[in-house]
Amino acid sequence: MKMENRIKIAFFDTKPYDKPSFERFGEKYGITFKYYETKLNEDTVELAQGYDGVCAFVNDTVNAAVIDSLADMGVKVLALRCAGFNNVDMKYAFGKIHVLRVPAYSPYAVAEHTMALLLTSIRRIHKAYIRTRDFNFSLSGLTGFDLHGKTVGVIGTGKIGRVFIDICRGFGMKVLAYDKFPAEGLDNGDTVRYVELDELFANSDIISLHCPLNEETHHIINAEALEKCKRGVVILNTSRGALVDAEALLAGIKSRKVGAACLDVYEEESDLFFEDNSGHILEDDTLARLISMPNVIVTSHQAFLTEDALENIAETTVKNIVDFFEKKQCPNELCYRKGTAEDCKDGKCF
């Protein structure tokens, strides 16, 4: 394909691990990417001038001002290379720019990372690893607990939540599930039961979040919710940071109400996560205090990061862009026609 006929996409927040798969699929399907390390926001949006579309990730800011600028420049499409779209003002985007996403790339990557965090935390692997490297073979303080027979509360039983439930069942755990739209056939009346949130809070030894971030789920784990939980509850968040009120979580850790927390996401992560800040003074006291706790494990939004997921993300993003420009219709377009964002069913989004 001649260079001038190729679709040109400005790719924001580029990391070294993004390029190989996007280059491969871009080459195959006739897309040229211009990679920018900077995030997309009001200050950087001008870099999209002259491109057919932009490709953005979870911590790019696509607010009203950015959408207006993109629309003014004639940029037709925003291709998200992620599933979540809470960083896009979808209501404002409707009618101005088409928003495509990757609804699923590897629910296994995220669900398996969630279980890895849980096991690391409760079996004290993070402590043991450091000890044995220093030839300290003492077991004091490393006592964990069995997962078998424990109850896990899973909030959000979509693709990732359901894989996580399968993994938990493999460990012999009981599952209490909550979802605004329960999945058919999941509740077996025994080892997996849908319950109301209050019952989930009251009876779960471990709570794992797998719902999207929206107005209803913002701070779904807050002081009031933690009050209703069992003493020693383990909180897992590999979904979106603002599902958890970090101040309330910290207070829960200090009061011993929360037994442990594993966070792959954090409400104020956008200026910190994915970057090496080791030489800097961390301004965020809440995050610094959480990280200092022996029973808190933080990973920096890494749950998605497997070779399989990166491959699927690049392939779907590229196919979305090609579908949009060549077929004028993409099944993974987000549509806000009904007053809430959902996958487009008929290609007539606006």
Site for ligand NAI, rule CB under 6 A: 83-84, 104, 107, 110, 155-161, 178-181, 210-212, 216-217, 238-240, 264-265, 301, 303-304
Buried/exposed 234-273: b ≥16 CB within 10 Å, e otherwise = bbbbbbbbbbbbbbbbbebbeeebbbbbbbbbbbebbebb
Q: CB of 199 within 8 A of CB of 193?
A: no
Q: Residue 109 Cβ, how far from ligand NAI at the closest point, in Å?
A: 7
In sequence order, which ranges of the chain are alpha helices (DSSP H)? Answer: 19-29, 64-72, 90-93, 107-122, 125-133, 159-170, 197-203, 223-228, 246-254, 285-292, 307-322
Q: Which is nearer to ligand NAI, 75 or 263 (CB)?
A: 263
**SS3 (DSSP) at 255:** coil
Give 45 or 234: the residue with its C-beta nearer to ligand NAI: 234
Neighbouring residues of 17: CB distance < 8 A, sequence distance ≥ 6 = 305, 310
Judged by beta carbon, residue 44 or residue 87, the one nearer ligand NAI is 87
Residue 241 and residue 212 in contact, taking contact as beta carbons nearer than 8 Å: no
189: which 2 tokens? 């009346």
DSSP letter for 95, please: T
Q: Which is nearer to ligand NAI, 183 or 251 (CB)?
A: 183
Residue number, nearest CB to ligand NAI: 158
From 240, 267, 315, 333, active-site residue: 240
Shorter beta-carbon distance to ligand NAI: residue 81 or 319: 81
Cα separation, 95 vs 68, in Å, equals 11
Which is closer to ligand NAI, CB of 220 or CB of 234? Answer: 220
CA distances from 8 to 59, 110, 125, 315 (A): 22, 31, 46, 16
Q: Report the nearest approach of ligand NAI to the CB of residue 349 (Å).
A: 19
98 or 113: whose CB is closer to ligand NAI? 113
- At its nearest, how many Å lie between ligand NAI and the CB of residue 55? 16
| Catalytic site includes residue 6 | no
Chain mean position to CA 345: 24
Is position 342 annotated as part of the catalytic site? no
Tell me how far, at minimum, the Cβ of 222 lies from ligand NAI, in Å.
14
Pull the structure tokens for residue 339: 């007053």
Q: How far is the CB of 343 from ligand NAI (least distance, A)?
A: 10
Q: Please, what is the minimum distance in Å from the beta carbon of residue 206 to ligand NAI?
A: 17
Instruction: Kindly name the residue from 267, 269, 315, 333 that is annotated as catalytic.
Output: 269
- Does the annotation mark 240 as catalytic? yes
Per DSSP bridges, beta strands 333-335 and 342-343 are antiparallel
Alpha carbons 47 and 70: distance in angstroms, whole number = 10
Q: Do residues 228 and 198 touch, judged by C-beta distance below 8 A?
A: yes
Which amino acid belongs to residue 33?
F
Which member of 81, 301, 315, 333 is catalytic?
Answer: 301
Torsions phi, psi of 117, nearest 5? -65, -45
Q: Closest approach of Cβ 124 to ligand NAI, in Å?
A: 23
* Residues catalogued as catalytic: 240, 269, 301
